[in-house]
Structure 1
């Protein structure tokens, strides 16, 4: 009598549980290896800008390119090293100044110099004046002084740079935009030190209208508004 053939059983799904457990363990392993202080802010900002189509974000390669053949490494350049050394400070700044960023009083960027905290002059100063509108900006200046005095930035150097647009000044007050931009930077320094920042960590400069923001021209009202600013730079260790 012929034997009946056994019917093939459908493949079970029990292996899925084991596979899912293995994937979860691998994910946990790589999360434990991740160090947020190693984030390269320069590369991250470049990638973000490219995703959003920022036309001013070009000019920087994400790979070492031919420089590696010359014995240089892009990762050793100050503009890239900054991402590792200031990574935690950037993350904290985004949190501390969130209300001011939302209201366009402050802008956070980074470049080869370090982390740049930009104060919009129209929000901090009276028109054509170097006098800080402290009634409106006291809370922001307090947070800024506390941030610059934090343990994360101990031993750092800060530079305050004043900038104006190309419009004329009142000769009775300011012979030129050089004096106005410098006076605004100095007054920001005075308030920061009054609120507890260490004066010895700072340097001050005024650039008048000679260093407009990339992508913004003094030929338009919008561009002039962007160029009227005070930059507070947390200087990267490679740019002291």
Structure 2
């Protein structure tokens, strides 16, 4: 008969199956919440893709998303600027002005660049009819941006080439000319276009740079470059 006195009872004890701990109820709630947020995002993005871009609606959409997802102000502003860029581009195309007006985006914001030779007569700060027609169309978008919950700063910038003005003219230098052109554009937007700058915020400005800020890629050493550098720019500046 075999000796079983040295056998450890623990070795022959039947092992009980380990119980699987119940899932954490908090984690289950978070998973459900995450699924709900994803579905809501998909729904809103679908509506957004099918609708006409509007700065006010974009701001409301961005604010709703930011509350759920924690989007930064800079990200919300980029949505607004994308809507603004699409609308002003459509206006330029509708007016058949794409040969004289360019719309671009950069770190500064959305830039509408108008050829100076088309917007003004040589050595003059009086707006042409073409320029006035375009400003009439752009004015509502400019005003909407200024009246936003967080207004976009808008800079109207005058630029010239490096050719000195003739003596005896209305302006003594390109500094005076570029500043006068920017100021004339702002005055027209306010007096005729109905643009209302927010009080006490300095959100609408007129600045003259003369020949100190050439258009990227263009030099005042060539006739083509000088023509490109004579311009008026309307810039929807980034907030962040």
**TM-score range, shorter-chain basis?**
0.5 to 0.7
Unaligned 5+ runs, structure 2 = 1-40, 52-70
Q: Cα 1:187–1:152, aligned 2, differ >3 Å: closer, same or farther?
A: closer
Deviation digits for residues 184-207 of structure 1, max 9, x if unmatched? Answer: 000000101112011443111111
Q: Cα 1:32–1:141, aligned 2, differ >3 Å: closer, same or farther?
A: closer
Task: Give the equivalent residue in structure 1 for 2:195.
Answer: 197
SS class of match (2:219): coil
Which of 97, 100, 105 aligns to 2:100? It is 105
Distance 1:198 1:170 in 2: 36
Deviation at 1:180, TM superposition (A): 0.6
Aligned length in residues:
172
Distance 1:85 1:138 in 2: 25
Distance 2:155 2:142 in 1: 11
Q: Determine if the alignment matches structure 1 residue 142 to structure 2 residue 126.
A: no
Bigger drift between 179-188 and 101-110 goes to 101-110
TM-score, reference length from structure 2: 0.63
Answer with 1 or 2: which has the greater Rg.
2
| Aligned pairs for 1:31-180 within 5 A | 33=45, 83-100=78-95, 102-133=97-128, 135-150=129-144, 154=148, 155-172=151-168, 173-180=170-177
Deviation digits for residues 182-240 of structure 1, max 9, x if unmatched? Answer: 000000001011120114431111110010011111111111111000111111112xx
Task: Give the equivalent residue in structure 2 for 1:182.
Answer: 179
Determine if contact 2:155/2:237 at 8 Å carries over to the other structure. Answer: yes
What is the aligned-residue RMSD (CA, Å)? 2.9
